[in-house]
Amino acid sequence: MSREKYNMSQYLKTIFDKKPYEIATNEKDDLLLREMNELHEFHSKNCKEYKSICRALGISEGEFNSLKEFPMLPVSIFKELDIKSIKDEDVVRILYSSGTTSMKKSKIYLDAMTSANQTKALTTIVNDFIGKNRIPMIIVDSRSTITNKNNFSARAAGIVGMLTFGKDYFYLLKDDDTLDITGLEVFLDKYGSQPIIIFGFTFMVWKYLYQELIKTKNSQVKINLKDKLNNAVLIHSGGWKKLLNEKVDNITFKNILKEELGIKKVHNFYGMVEQVGSVFMECEEGYFHTSNFSEVLIRNHLDWSVEENGKEGIIEVISVLPQSYPGNVLLTEDIGVIHGVDDCKCKRMGKYFTVKGRVEKAEVRGCSDTYELKEVQNYV
Amino acid sequence: MFDILCPKNGTYEDVLKSENFLPYGSAVVDFFQQLSKNILQNSNYKKYPEIIALGFWLRKANLIKMQKDVFEKETTKDNIKLARGLVFHIAPSNVDTVFAYSLFVSLLMGNRNIVRVSSQSSLVLDLLITELNDILSLKEFKSLRNNLLIVRYEHNDDTTTEFSLRCDVRVIWGGDQTVNKIRSLPLNTSAHEIVFPDRFSYCAVKSKEFLSLNHPFELTDKFYKDVYTFDQNACSSPRMIFWIGSSEDNQKAQEKFWSCFNEVVESYSGILEQDHSLRKLNSTIITAVTTEGKVKIINGSTNRITRVQFDSLKDVRRDDHCGLGLFYEVCIKDLNELSSFFSSKDQTLSVYGFSNQEISDCLNKGCRSISRVVPIGKALEFDVVWDGYNLFDELTREVSIVS
């Protein structure tokens, strides 16, 4: 099979040239459709697995007329199969999803261009929320999470990806996963009155930045956290499963961080290792937003038809970033609902939506005694 | 260590100490009669076809038929068959009635029994246990009380080992994982073991015969029961259909069949789980990749029916199949092409339109592992010859008397 490198199209250039939330849907649909058709052709030529899937689905050559026609790949297939659209020697990085050792992990192959585009897109998106300047950063994790070369987890990749937005990094946890209270005091004494960025995984933020810190606050922390964190922006991601078990939803989460720690700006983002870069950031109104790089469709599981806005269904995510692997159109295992298009009060264009949770594993009758639990997909 | 569900006030010591019966002993036959009557006369059971089927299986006429056709078939006058002793059954979790068939066949052969039922409770299981307890509390069935013990415990190697070291036969239902797990635990040296690992089952339709059917819905109704009763995950539920005939007939038969079947499925089925739709999508996409695209994925009017049509028999991969209403298909000219296709993983072939002669001609050409051929609609019917085992033989020992 002849392999060729993907050339950046004029459409992708336009997508990168604009601000991430400034293209209204009419124009964006057209741009994305053209770019997605280019990518479809590229993967069909260069990825034999993608070609097989298209053949099995009876997709004939030629272009698609709308985004909903592109074949959806279930995110879980990146756990089962090794799929890429580039030569082995062009692989610069492999991303793995997190998960325990017994679980199969997603394996995503990146070449230089896909990797660079991911970083560029992420930067554009996050800058829209925190500004262009690098600011002092607190990471709600330990340094060893990213220095452990033997186990470079999805969590580590997520942290490293966010480091570009900060400077003068402070890791809230020591290597034994206890709070570095002294370090925090020194950091906040120095930077506390200016804008700072805090990043961590949702459950880490809840457990350490809130629960553990509050526990030790009265006895050990001498400074006034509320004053010092007044200008902080918290960005977090990673899913709500653990928190929902404790009956903590997004609204509760934000209220508590505001009341207890004085953190007023909190942005969750929805993203996954299979589509790094084109993340969906939560705006000030509490909705995830599509950007220039991405689109979201809600699918009805009964026949995979597209649901109208306002109706719940399974989330399909579309990203123009993957070139080294055919991960542009993925059906997630999450349930969500689109609330509107181009008219969010936050003034950002694009669709805005919420994620309701994960598709529940259903019981299967049959002769097997043990129902093998399919692993839960983890976000970066 | 374990909870005793049946009989009331039953004890482990009792079942260890009690005596075997003779095969087809009158106490057991009478007990089955009573149980059959209770099931078939109780209108509450009407909504549970699997319980009704059990009631029919227990009727005296059926017991006698099995005695003549299977039990006495190969026994010479001089040899006698006796119970093996204590049988330890490990039942599967979700085909609720299997524990009962396993237990009843063994009881009928005179054995004493310990049955481990799934730690997950189910309605059908609870109903059957209540029924058993009620009958066993009657005075006339007192003699049976010490010959069975139905227990429940979370998977626990110590308990399973204890039973395994005391039993004379260990029967493991429940697929590859369970078989591998239990097999790693020691078994009484003189004991015999019967295992039921994962199986794959099929359906073969002679296209021409199907096309001439005036009432195709009768057949598609039966097929529905074979497939959807246990989410296509019973080991004998067909997962793949062979269309046999000229390519023209095959194509027409497929069209007619799927149009009828779609109607049947849409009118009978309840909620479609999101998880099931996702698993089927995942399974079909993986098949597309593993076969290098030598399949055609076709969805019904909804995701309740998902079809994967293979270009040829050699492309079929059983491992990717997830059940839940997923139908592999392949069109071939002649039934005999199947004789080199089957593997040791295969079990039931449901058929339509073939004579017994045609079937046995095909099997005699070297079919490696089909162990059961039934008409469409009977795939789930329990048979005392199962998976290639004659359970009457497996659960008795034959004493040879040489003169």
| Per-residue pLDDT reduced to its tens digit, A145-155 | 888 766 667 78
pLDDT tens by residue, A216-233: 766 667 778 888 898 999
Say whether both B394 and B317 belong to one domain: no
Domain CATH code at residue B85: 3.40.605.10
Say whether both B160 and B23 belong to one domain: yes
Domains of chain A: 10-73+287-358 (2.30.38.10), 120-270 (3.40.50)
Is B67 part of a structural domain of the chain? yes
- Between the alpha carbon of residue B305 and those of residues A70, B239, B267, B289, the distances in Å are 21, 12, 13, 20
pLDDT tens by residue, A43-72: 999 999 999 999 999 998 889 999 999 999
β A329-341/A280-281 pair status: unpaired
Is B293–A56 a contact, with Cβ atoms under 8 angstroms apart? yes
Is B249 part of a structural domain of the chain? yes
Which B-chain residues 268-307 have CB contacts (< 8 A) with chain A? 272-279, 281-282, 284-289, 291-293, 295-297, 299, 301-303
Higher pLDDT, B372 or A150: B372
Residue to mutate among A315, A364, A375, with most B CBs inside 10 A, is A364
Residue A377 confidence (pLDDT): 29
Say whether both B85 and B171 belong to one domain: yes
Give the closest residue to B114 by CA, choosing from B83, B142, B76, B85: B85
Say whether both B166 and B17 belong to one domain: yes
pLDDT at A372 over 60: no
**pTM of this structure:** 0.90
Domain count, chain B: 2
Is B382 part of a structural domain of the chain? no
Is A368–B93 a contact, with Cβ atoms under 8 angstroms apart? yes
Which B-chain residues 161-200 have CB contacts (< 8 A) with chain A? 173-175, 177-178, 196, 198-199
Is A51–B90 a contact, with Cβ atoms under 8 angstroms apart? no
Residue B123, min C-alpha distance to chain A (Å)? 13
Helix axes B26-41, B98-108, angle to 10 degrees: 150
Domain of residue B246 covers: 200-375
Is B369 part of a structural domain of the chain? yes
Residues B238-253, mean pLDDT to the nearest whole number: 98
For B175, the closest of A53, A76, A367 (CB atoms) is A367
Is B380 part of a structural domain of the chain? no
Is A363–B94 a contact, with Cβ atoms under 8 angstroms apart? yes
Which B-chain residues 334-373 have CB contacts (< 8 A) with chain A? none
Residue B166, min C-alpha distance to chain A (Å)? 23
The answer to whether the beta carbons of residues B99 and B382 sit under 8 Å apart is: no
Is A365–B95 a contact, with Cβ atoms under 8 angstroms apart? yes
Say whether both B181 and B223 belong to one domain: no
A54 contact B CB<8A = yes
Is B224 part of a structural domain of the chain? yes
The secondary element (H helix, E strand) that includes residue B227 is helix B216-228
Which chain A residues contact residue B231 at CB under 8 A? 364-366
Say whether both B79 and B188 belong to one domain: yes
pLDDT at B74 over 80: no
Q: Which tokens go with A47?
A: 């990825």
Say whether both B103 and B183 belong to one domain: yes
Say whether both B163 and B206 belong to one domain: no
pLDDT at A124 over 80: yes
pLDDT at A304 over 70: yes
Say whether both B221 and B266 belong to one domain: yes
Which chain A residues contact residue B90 at CB under 8 A? 369
Give the closest residue to A333 by CA, choosing from A307, A311, A352, A356: A356
Give the DSSP letter string of A314-346: EEEEEES---SSS-SEEEEEEEEEEEEES--TT
Say whether both B244 and B346 belong to one domain: yes
Is B139 part of a structural domain of the chain? yes
Q: Which tokens go with A65?
A: 């007329």
Residue A370 confidence (pLDDT): 36
Residue B140 confidence (pLDDT): 94
A186 contact B CB<8A = no
B90 contact A CB<8A = yes
Strand order in the sheet with A166-173: A166-173, A135-142, A196-201, A232-237, A265-270, A280-281
The answer to whether the beta carbons of residues A74 and B282 sit under 8 Å apart is: yes
- Between the alpha carbon of residue A359 and those of residues A50, A314, A364, the distances in Å are 25, 8, 15
Mean pLDDT of chain B: 94
Say whether both B65 and B183 belong to one domain: yes
Is B303–A365 a contact, with Cβ atoms under 8 angstroms apart? no
Q: Which of A113-117, A334-338, B133-137, B367-371 has the lowest mean pLDDT?
A: B367-371
Say whether both B120 and B259 belong to one domain: no
Is B354 part of a structural domain of the chain? yes
Domain CATH code at residue B233: 3.40.309.10
